[in-house]
Structure 1
Amino acid sequence: MRSLPLSLVSPLTFAFAYLVSLTWCNAEELRCDVLVYGATPGGIAAALAAADDGENVILVEPTERIGGLVTCGLSHTDYHAYDGLTGSFLQFSKRVEAYYVKKYGPDSQQVKDSWRGTFGEPHVNLLIFKQMLAERKNIRVVTNAELLRCEVKPLHLIDPQAPLGPPKIIECQFDQGLAESLAIRAEMFIDASYEGDLMAMAGAEYRVGREARDEYGESLAPEQADDQLQAYNFRFIMTQAAENRVTPLAPPGYNADDFLPIVEVLKSGKIKSIFGYPNDCIFKAQLPPLPNSKHDINDVSKSAIRLSLPGINRAWPNGDRETRAKIFAEHRRDQEGLLYFLQNDERVPAKFRDEARTWGWCKDEFESTGHLPPQLYVREARRMVGLYVFRQSDCENAPGDARAKLFTDAIAMGEYGNNCHGTAHEGPRFGGKHTGDFYHATPPYQIPYGVIVPTEGDNLLVPVAASATHVGFCALRLEPIWMSMGEAAGHAAHFARKEKGDTRDPAIISQVQARLHATGAATIYFSDVLPGDADFAAAQWLGTAGGFHGLHPQPAKVRGASIVGQYSESYPGHTADLDQPLDEKLAVKWNEIAEVRQIDVAKLPRADGKLTRREWLRAAYKLRTPPKP
């Protein structure tokens, strides 16, 4: 079923969704504390966090392969400054780097090309995720289990003594292709699927499409709301290394005439090469390369020939299995067929055809699916309407400040900026142009807790199909950020279950923040106080309270100096400068923050021209009342 433009599911649906799920077929039944649906990187991070808090977790993946796009082609991680990576993604990338060090040696080209472990080959990324999950004996992973239905009941129907309150998910049922389905009962549920399938089935409110510009005051939004969403494509992994190269074949349904118009575009001079970086090509071979002479292949922004196919994907978010399979097949026919045409059709100019033939699939990747990624790059699908809707202004500079808007309830941070590969296409398939695309640089930004919490329901968290406008989601939709939000969701599920309370309880936030900071996950960006620093948790605590906002003016250029490709040095104006003397003006501000947090200011050291920021911070952090563990 396709949604109407900007599909809105009423909150009342959540309260009555259980009525459609009273008839259950025979099912094997499992029980756990926390059920995570979707073994995307965000889902894996959620499962790891909840398990580390002592919860018994079942991680359910509808496909055969865990890891989402990080194990299915998106190996060229989307971030700008390395010091913006923290928490579970940083732990994951360090383990990827350690794998290459152990296998090839610390000075090897593979270690260098792993780019500190953020550029892992798909099969290596898969191995590391599997190892991380296997180390937690309280995580059970279930694959090939597609969500069938959810049992949802208003709280007073579960407990007659309970007051009228929000609905609660009781059980989810999954199809494993067996005679009996699998039913899992849990106390807390986390939807970490790219599509938000559990969220939607449970009746949570969501949207599909783009908001009008005036609704949230977003300059990047269209004038009128519509049902357009960001285009999809495959993230192929390819190589020119002859010893590991597999020759591409024609996909099912291939018709050479479909691609004939590309010849005129090639002759026009708009395309300089078939593979290249960053533009004037058809297949973007991301730089730097991956280890072992591989390349992550992506759509070329603003090119005359694009891999992404806007419009074809509009039925995907609300589509059933057959609908999504049809859209998947159409993307494969188009993108694999395009490559086959360029490599083999005699009508393609020889210089382009010869160049294209030097590329092929990787023999040691995706062996069970013909060396093609088994998942499509779903950049955007459903987006929950939660307690807070993340928007364009939330990741832009606060007035006159190097930093973005302050969120004292932040549970994650990001730094990639709003990035959309287009939502529609004008003109012919080859030679036309995408519309709705934008590439908006921003400073690092905080992500508030309400982005992962639905407005109704007390035991559901949604860290991937999170609450955001189309424009806002285009800043959140990166795997490191999704892992950060998933990590926060895992901890939040633990604290909500432990207190037998509602995930919407504000008291949970400080507990989640303290847990994140203690494990090296950031809720605000610093370029000079990184995970592993003795004062990391303290700086995060004070920074998330607003202690470092307003210290540096907005710089002329948001990002640091370029390193290579999309990667850059640290963001300017985001230092804590803890060894600088604490001046009187800043001391007043910090003392006010301390007083609000019920710290006895009289016990804090005074700014005397010699006292450093670090000394004050350590004293205040020691005097604070920590949240319950």
Structure 2
Amino acid sequence: MKRRNFVKSLAIGGGAVLSGGIPGWEPFARTGERREADVIIYGGTSAAVTAAVKAKQLGKTVMIVCPELHLGGMTSGGLGFTDTGNKAVIGGLAREFYHRIYLHYEDAKSWQWQQKEAYGNKGQGTPAIDGTNRTMWIFEPHAAEKVFEGFIHENGIAVFRDEWLERPHGVQMKHGQIISFKTVKSNVYAGKIFIDATYEGDLMAAASVSFTIGREAAGVYNEKWAGVLTGVFHHDHYFKSRIDPYKIPGKPSSGLLPGISGEAPGAYGSGDKKVQAYCYRMCFSSHPENKVAFPQPSGYDPTQYELLVRVFNSGWRELFRKFDPIPNLKTDTNNHGPFSTDYIGMNYLYPDASYTQRKQIIQNHRNYQQGLFYFIATDQRIPREVQQEFNKWGLAKDEFTDNENWPFQLYIREARRMVSDFVMTEQEILGERAVTDSIGMGSYTLDSHNIQRYVTKEGFVQNEGDFGVAVPKPYNISYRAIVPKAAECQNLLVPVCLSSSHVAYGSIRMEPVFMILGESAATAAVMAIDNKSSVQKVDYAALKNNLLKQQQKIG
């Protein structure tokens, strides 16, 4: 989508506001205004969209206020190879999203670079296209964004974009409730119920709601997979060969290679404030007319990737394992292997960082990945057969067209997590303890990416923090996990940075689940408004009945 066309599309629905954040565009948004609605949603994720749609469908006025220009978070930001788990437990507006994706690809015009019959229909544990249920689970980024913008347009939802919460003191509270919040443009948004649908939990934090960052120790919630997990290798994201970590092999005094920590990883099972690695999910294209050569980033330094050379020299050849196919000869390319797109250890400060600090962390991740791709594409030390195969790919020319074909959204796999009266833990996910107030279901594997890269006692490099534990059956997610403690805030719902341990969040943090929880949060918000009650006092039996009417799957 061209820039001017994107501006036009954002104006649809009467509530979209852009600022001058993109070069060449004049700001539409005025500053110093006060805007009011029944439900105010902060954030532009997939959960924000489903929450807004449901609140509007249930008869309330609603606004999305978000830092983003593009809606959908990771769903429209490159994660097109959906982590479905058991798709039978995906209902409501989430299933409607995947139905609309199906309809998009039923149109022959959507297959510009590939015949539909040649696509292959590969999905993650399920066929990509489910003709029986008229859903499609694998898609291109622009297709997802089109569906989200369609939801917004059809429902006439006001979206105020490039609006950043004034942190940390932008929230006005009175008698345990949020009255309004102010953005850095001095606009004020007042409402009856607020929903924090960000990946970071910024509104929650600014309202002084309790949260945590990092990993709990194993003893906090009696979880087997909690804390530091040295020697645990559930996926292929670890060093299988003994690889020297030093700039000059065998010489510690030469210093460590980039990306390797000189600190000890910590005792097994101990907690820390470290966060699982982030990366960009990449949309590559192999069609000659629709691919852009991997650019050399500013400040490119090939020494940053010396460790990858040593991995290849050890015989590793799994580079293309996570080039998952999406329509039109494209990929959703995710991290894979011991040294890949995950920028391990470089995001610890992100969850609680200032906007300026976050911007730098985000740019560092982009530089790292752009440099990695350029290195693989051009450096003479890359095995010839690998380099030749890699150069069949490039950035997709028709994706992220106003961002140099680079994804808009960094994959914030985990940031803040609320700490409420009820915390989802390993026991609920694995079915060892029942949830009696379900508002949605999850089913994906307990899954964390690596958290640190260190030197073992034997003197070799290793990764730590990655785990993958099968979930025996779909599990219920508690309503109490998305509401704060009543003493802290009575009119806020948190469907993304919900109350969960690090281990449990490894399964909950999937995009379909966020859409489900966003819709359920909005349903509860409407009930709280109608009954003039706090979100904590919403009658669960009535909420359950309403969710079932909306075809949510709640166990």
Q: Does TM-score exceed 0.5, indicating one fold?
A: yes
Map 1:513-592 onto structure 2 (within 5 A): 513-524=544-555
Residues 461-491 of structure 1 show CA distances to partners (whole Å, capped at 9, x for unaligned) of 0000000011111111001111111111000
Q: Give the alignment's Cα RMSD to 1 decimal.
A: 2.0
CA distance change for structure 1 residues 305 and 105 in 2, over 3 Å: closer, same or farther?
A: closer
Counterpart of 2:147, as a letter, is: I
> Does 2:161 correspond to 1:143?
yes
Residue 94 of structure 1: aligned partner:
99
Residue 152 of structure 1: aligned partner:
172
Write the distance in 1 (CA, Å) between the matches of 2:496 and 2:395.
30
| Shift in Å, 1:506 | 4.7
Contact 2:172-2:181 within 8 A present in 1 as well: no
Residue 409 of structure 1: aligned partner:
437
Map 1:300-449 onto structure 2 (within 5 A): 300=336, 303-398=337-432, 405-427=433-455, 432-442=461-471, 443-449=473-479
Write the distance in 2 (CA, Å) between the matches of 1:371 and 1:100.
22
Residue 205 of structure 1: aligned partner:
210
Contact 1:171-1:184 within 8 A present in 2 as well: yes
Gapped runs of 5+ residues in structure 1?
1-24, 156-166, 278-283, 399-404, 525-629
- Partner SS state of residue 224, structure 2: coil
Contact 2:213-2:275 within 8 A present in 1 as well: yes
| Shift in Å, 1:370 | 0.8
Contact 2:41-2:62 within 8 A present in 1 as well: yes
CA distance change for structure 1 residues 219 and 65 in 2, over 3 Å: closer, same or farther?
A: same
> Does 2:75 correspond to 1:70?
yes
Write the distance in 1 (CA, Å) between the matches of 2:218 and 2:516.
28
| Shift in Å, 1:273 | 4.6
1:500 to 528, 532, 535: 532
> Does 2:278 correspond to 1:232?
yes
Write the distance in 2 (CA, Å) between the matches of 1:351 and 1:117.
34
> Does 2:472 correspond to 1:463?
no
**Percent sequence identity over aligned pairs:** 32
Contact 1:58-1:140 within 8 A present in 2 as well: yes
Counterpart of 1:293, as a letter, is: L
Count residues with an aligned counterpart.
Answer: 463
* Larger relative helix fraction: 1
1:128 to 126, 147, 164: 147
2:37 to 15, 32, 36: 32
Contact 1:97-1:111 within 8 A present in 2 as well: no
- Partner SS state of residue 426, structure 1: strand
Write the distance in 1 (CA, Å) between the matches of 2:446 and 2:326.
25
Point out the structure with max Rg over C-alpha.
1
1:489 to 501, 521, 536: 521
Write the distance in 2 (CA, Å) between the matches of 1:262 and 1:418.
28
Residue 8 of structure 2: aligned partner:
none
CA distance change for structure 1 residues 427 and 329 in 2, over 3 Å: closer, same or farther?
A: farther
Write the distance in 2 (CA, Å) between the matches of 1:227 and 1:134.
41
| Shift in Å, 1:63 | 1.6
TM-score (norm 2): 0.80
Write the distance in 2 (CA, Å) between the matches of 1:505 and 1:204.
18
Contact 1:150-1:170 within 8 A present in 2 as well: no
| Deviating more after overlay: 79-88 vs 311-320 | 79-88
CA distance change for structure 1 residues 69 and 518 in 2, over 3 Å: closer, same or farther?
A: same
Write the distance in 1 (CA, Å) between the matches of 2:494 and 2:551.
22
Contact 1:42-1:485 within 8 A present in 2 as well: yes
Residues 528-566 of structure 1 show CA distances to partners (whole Å, capped at 9, x for unaligned) of xxxxxxxxxxxxxxxxxxxxxxxxxxxxxxxxxxxxxxx
Write the distance in 1 (CA, Å) between the matches of 2:333 and 2:493.
32
- Partner SS state of residue 439, structure 1: strand
Contact 1:63-1:143 within 8 A present in 2 as well: yes
- Partner SS state of residue 441, structure 2: strand
Contact 2:307-2:339 within 8 A present in 1 as well: no
Write the distance in 2 (CA, Å) between the matches of 1:368 and 1:33.
33
Contact 1:111-1:291 within 8 A present in 2 as well: no
CA distance change for structure 1 residues 478 and 121 in 2, over 3 Å: closer, same or farther?
A: same
| Shift in Å, 1:252 | 2.0
Write the distance in 1 (CA, Å) between the matches of 2:284 and 2:497.
29
Counterpart of 2:451, as a letter, is: T
Residue 323 of structure 2: aligned partner:
285
| Shift in Å, 1:350 | 1.8
| Shift in Å, 1:347 | 2.7
Residues 367-402 of structure 1 show CA distances to partners (whole Å, capped at 9, x for unaligned) of 11111102110000000012310000001134xxxx
| Shift in Å, 1:95 | 0.5
| Shift in Å, 1:235 | 0.2
Write the distance in 2 (CA, Å) between the matches of 1:343 and 1:298.
17
Counterpart of 2:171, as a letter, is: E
Write the distance in 1 (CA, Å) between the matches of 2:550 and 2:198.
25
- Partner SS state of residue 158, structure 2: strand
TM-score (norm 1): 0.71
| Shift in Å, 1:242 | 1.3
CA distance change for structure 1 residues 426 and 306 in 2, over 3 Å: closer, same or farther?
A: farther
- Partner SS state of residue 199, structure 1: helix
Deviating 4+ runs (over 4 angstroms): 104-107, 110-114
- Partner SS state of residue 332, structure 2: strand
- Partner SS state of residue 345, structure 2: coil
Write the distance in 1 (CA, Å) between the matches of 2:438 and 2:80.
28
Contact 2:170-2:183 within 8 A present in 1 as well: no
| Shift in Å, 1:307 | 1.8
CA distance change for structure 1 residues 108 and 454 in 2, over 3 Å: closer, same or farther?
A: same
| Shift in Å, 1:104 | 4.6
Gapped runs of 5+ residues in structure 2?
1-29, 123-127, 130-134, 228-268
1:474 to 495, 506, 512: 506
| Shift in Å, 1:315 | 0.5
Contact 1:174-1:182 within 8 A present in 2 as well: yes
- Partner SS state of residue 367, structure 1: coil
Map 1:234-273 onto structure 2 (within 5 A): 234-269=280-315, 271-273=316-318
Residues 90-126 of structure 1 show CA distances to partners (whole Å, capped at 9, x for unaligned) of 1000011101112359993369565332112100100
Write the distance in 1 (CA, Å) between the matches of 2:74 and 2:150.
18
Counterpart of 1:272, as a letter, is: R
| Shift in Å, 1:44 | 0.9
- Partner SS state of residue 220, structure 2: helix
Contact 1:273-1:352 within 8 A present in 2 as well: no
CA distance change for structure 1 residues 273 and 440 in 2, over 3 Å: closer, same or farther?
A: closer
- Partner SS state of residue 162, structure 2: coil
Residue 295 of structure 1: aligned partner:
331
Counterpart of 1:452, as a letter, is: I
Contact 2:85-2:445 within 8 A present in 1 as well: no
- Partner SS state of residue 372, structure 1: coil
Write the distance in 2 (CA, Å) between the matches of 1:329 and 1:141.
26
Residues 393-448 of structure 1 show CA distances to partners (whole Å, capped at 9, x for unaligned) of 001134xxxxxx432211111000210012111249xx833211110111210001
Residues 277-332 of structure 1 show CA distances to partners (whole Å, capped at 9, x for unaligned) of 2xxxxxx212xx211111101011xx232321232101000011111111111111
Residue 551 of structure 1: aligned partner:
none
- Partner SS state of residue 352, structure 1: helix
Residue 544 of structure 1: aligned partner:
none
RCO higher in structure (CA 8 A, sep ≥6): 2
Contact 2:527-2:538 within 8 A present in 1 as well: no
Residue 59 of structure 2: aligned partner:
54
